[in-house]
Structure 1
């Protein structure tokens, strides 16, 4: 009996020591996690935010240029202006998937800065166009060069952060998009005062100066961005090993047997994975929802100065640039808040189901009231609801895809389909509809309601997949290095 009691005490002591050791290890892991994330955040995110801010500035600055003389100076009609906007989206869409498939071959450190350098150069060229043909040609090339940035950045970030850390990070750099609206309005207001200088009107200087800024940021990003965790020189060797281990634990089936690296880093292009990404139902549900949201987002960015200019309380187009700043600033705050909540709760679509109706209400009201103050107030709801939804929908496909080329395909395809919303956005606010623009507002309102239904469908579909995996219906895929494995749970 004494021996049995002694053995029990030894087992108890061993268990206690093991528990204490595990607790100490967990505390150390938490400290190391915070340290690694801090270094990643301060090195990668500011540079990506800067590139994305430049991207949105160079995509939407044509809206600022329009109200200070672009159309009259190059002698184009309102319809020709809209066509120039649509051509950009055509080439932008066509370049997204090829760019994402090329990203790994060319390496992110080279590919992303190269894209920025090229589209910055094309933005400068917009400052020298003389006619409709030149406007169309430069806008088309601008779309080709800029199209690969956003899907490339989403894919790039997924190689540094776990699935439940992505929304906040993408939310932070996507906040740059809403800030670009505010910054763009202020910058356009200042640059307009240059006119005329050296024979160039003020709207031309908007393109030239902002294009130069993008070229500079492209060069800076080549210096600052690492290719991967393996080449992140700002991390100590033990930190790189820990960061790799974190990613492997987030997607346990991505491990190579007998290797310390991720299988995705060694994965070769398999067209079966590309096909699986293209045929993914979840991708189509989020892509069509995103398309509807971007219809509103792009029209908001392109036509907000025009809408505000028609409200009456802006004394001139330059004042309208300043009034357009405040809704974007409000949206940037809400975007960050929604991103934090999304990551904390590990939810994507569910968050959007609550945020998107804010924009739907905004568009519904602005289309049916005549008070200038109420209309301006509704621009806040419109921007908050749309921008607050973007980080969640951007990372949703990436969070629910495993395997480099499957993730690359779903990320690029989602954005390619989504950017078709740009075609709708460019034609729903014709000048003849102003200043009420009722038809345009109602079109966006309907699109956002459609997006809400698609998001709800995807939440229910992902929940069904998780139930099926729990019930053993996916057991045949056990050991697969992709999102079909029973242990890979869908984020709702």
Structure 2
């Protein structure tokens, strides 16, 4: 078989992969994001008033979700391979659907806070789990766009929430003795439970389990993954706390951790409070729901385009910095003007500038950590930082500072600039590490006694497993 035909068959296998596992992962993340952030829509519809909560109590209910959420991320990512994605991920989706139904039945502040805490526990593993899961099916140069596909699902959240919210307010307020905001949670989450049950039958754990591919296509995917990640083509990859510590001690992981934290502060500030920001500009409640759609639609387009070029350029730092420039411009406009229409227009820069950076940063963390358990730890650490930023964001938009949010906008603008600088520093660090590995190749490989005529021997495999991304032949993605 010639190379042209081989590439054609490879593209066909990848497309089938895109149409089998990617839609399910997209739906999982969309439902997860809806569950976390639709409390902002429910607040406008009367949740805070009906439960008699103060602003501080509302912020606690938003914040409390992230504590167990963060605690669950690293253990779940380390257990994903052991339990199997086919069992773990649909189970979590079904459980959180049940939790959100309970969220619509609460009648007090303590009840809401309790349900939100349990919701965080079962939702925490989803986002890092999906990124880790997809990294086991796609090459490093293909990952950002695939992450963008499911991340961009969150950009259609306002339109979905608006339709459900409008129906609840107009047609269902008072039905079953429940207010309209309660039906937002109840109706959306019944769908989550159904999707969770369906996932048990449709989510494969490994490329070998893909049902919609021929045996030749599965073998082709396995071979291309082995070329892209040599450490994945072995049975020697077992869990070890050493791999966890090696991830934590990696300088590029530590720097990315800080970038993830600042990005999470920006991301969740927009996700949780965009309806409140728009509403504070002077628009009515119904118009707020509709006007919240526009910035997310722009975010959808920019997210896919940014990730596409990131994969095509095989670069993460440049697209990340370019995208964050949109957020800098949007935040600067919001800070320097007072007209409500100008400020609303600035959101068409801020929201895409925040959302579109997530796939590039997520793929960057995954690309530069090997083998599996080191990668699992690094990805989870990134999202631990992201959700720590989510905790920070819940305290940045008090209603008494609307609509200016001057201090918050200055902080967000500072974070956006620092992310751009951090991306540049990380790229320079990784470039330096690549050069050092080449210069010290013989020294690094000396303990393994690798026969130059047998690059696939046992010692070569052991070198890949122990060194992982520190192997001289592993090239860090810039």
Q: What is the rounded CA distance, in whole Å, between the counterparts of 2:219 and 2:361 in structure 1?
A: 30
Matched, 1:343 2:320: no
Match of 1:381 among 340, 344, 349: 349
Q: Which digits, 9 at most, give the CA deviation of each residue in 1:436-490, with x for residues without a partner?
A: 2222222211222222222121111111111112323574147422111111000
Q: What is the rounded CA distance, in whole Å, between the counterparts of 1:164 and 1:346 in structure 2?
A: 6
Matched, 1:487 2:470: no
Q: What is the rounded CA distance, in whole Å, between the counterparts of 1:277 and 1:120 in structure 2?
A: 33
Q: Which residue of 2 aligns with 1:97?
A: 74
Q: Which residue of 2 aligns with 1:411?
A: 379
In the TM superposition, what are the counterparts of 1:25-424 in structure 2 within 5 Å? Answer: 25-193=2-170, 194-252=172-230, 254=231, 262-263=233-234, 267-312=237-282, 314=283, 316-424=284-392
Q: What is the rounded CA distance, in whole Å, between the counterparts of 1:360 and 1:227 in structure 2?
A: 40
Q: What is the rounded CA distance, in whole Å, between the counterparts of 1:396 and 1:440 in structure 2?
A: 28
Q: Which digits, 9 at most, give the CA deviation of each residue in 1:210-262, with x for residues without a partner?
A: 1112111111222111110111121111111111100111123x26xxxxxx2
Match of 1:441 among 409, 414, 427: 409
Q: Which digits, 9 at most, give the CA deviation of each residue in 1:23-48, with x for residues without a partner?
A: x6211211111111011000011111
* Deviation at residue 182 of structure 1 after TM alignment: 3.2
* Deviation at residue 385 of structure 1 after TM alignment: 0.5
Q: Secondary structure at the match of 1:198?
A: helix
Unpaired runs of 5+ residues, structure 2, are 449-459
Deviating more after overlay: 473-482 vs 212-221: 473-482
Q: Secondary structure at the match of 2:336?
A: coil
* Deviation at residue 165 of structure 1 after TM alignment: 0.6
Q: What is the rounded CA distance, in whole Å, between the counterparts of 2:274 and 2:229 in structure 1?
A: 42
Q: Secondary structure at the match of 1:357?
A: helix
8 Å CA contact 2:321, 2:419 repeated in 1:
no
Q: What is the rounded CA distance, in whole Å, between the counterparts of 1:67 and 1:390 in structure 2?
A: 27
Q: What is the rounded CA distance, in whole Å, between the counterparts of 2:372 and 2:169 in structure 1?
A: 45
Q: Secondary structure at the match of 1:419?
A: helix
Deviating more after overlay: 194-203 vs 140-149: 194-203
* Deviation at residue 435 of structure 1 after TM alignment: 1.9
* Deviation at residue 181 of structure 1 after TM alignment: 3.2
Q: Secondary structure at the match of 1:429?
A: coil
8 Å CA contact 1:182, 1:329 repeated in 2:
no
- Quickly say closer, same or farther: Cα 1:240–1:475, change in 2 above 3 A: farther
Q: What is the rounded CA distance, in whole Å, between the counterparts of 2:163 and 2:259 in structure 1?
A: 31
For the aligned residue pairs, the C-alpha RMSD in angstroms reads 1.4
Deviating more after overlay: 199-208 vs 211-220: 211-220
8 Å CA contact 1:68, 1:203 repeated in 2:
yes
Give the TM-score normalised by the residue count of structure 2. 0.93
8 Å CA contact 2:65, 2:119 repeated in 1:
yes
Q: What is the rounded CA distance, in whole Å, between the counterparts of 1:456 and 1:105 in structure 2?
A: 36
* Deviation at residue 95 of structure 1 after TM alignment: 0.6
